[in-house]
Amino acid sequence: MRVLVTGAFGNIGSSAVAQLRRQGHEVRCFDVPSKANLRRARGATNVVWADIRDADAVQRAVRDQDVVVHLAGLIPPQVAEDPQTARDVNVGGTGNVLDAVARHNSRILFASTLDVYGPTQHLDPPRRVDDPVARTDEYSGHKIRCEELVRQSPRPWAIYRFADVPPDEARRPHPIMFAIPLDNRIELVHRDDAGLAVANGVAADIWGGTWLIGGGPSCQVRYRDMLGRALDAFGLGALPDSAFSTEPYCTDWLDTEESQRVLRFQRHSFDEIMAYVVECSRPALAARLVLPLVRPLARRRILKLSPHF
Could you read off the pLDDT of 191-241 as tens digits, one per residue? 999 999 999 999 999 999 999 999 999 999 999 999 999 888 877 889 999
Task: Give the DSSP H/E element, type plus range, for residue 280.
Answer: helix 270-281
Is the pLDDT higher at 118 or at 170? Answer: 118
Name the average pLDDT for the chain.
Answer: 94
Residue 143, CB half-sphere, CA atoms under 13 Å: how many? 28
Which strand (E) or helix (H) includes residue 21?
helix 11-22
Whether this model's pTM surpasses 0.85: yes
> Buried b vs exposed e over 29-57: b needs ≥16 C-beta within 10 Å?
bbbbeeeebeebbeebeebbebbbbebeb
**CB-CB contact of 143 with 87 (8 Å):** no
Q: What is the pLDDT of residue 291?
A: 60
CA atoms lying within 13 Å on the CB side of residue 170: 11
Question: Any idea where the domains of the chain sit in the sequence?
Answer: 2-170+186-228+249-283
What's the pLDDT score for residue 285? 41
CATH class of the 2-170+186-228+249-283 domain in this structure: alpha beta
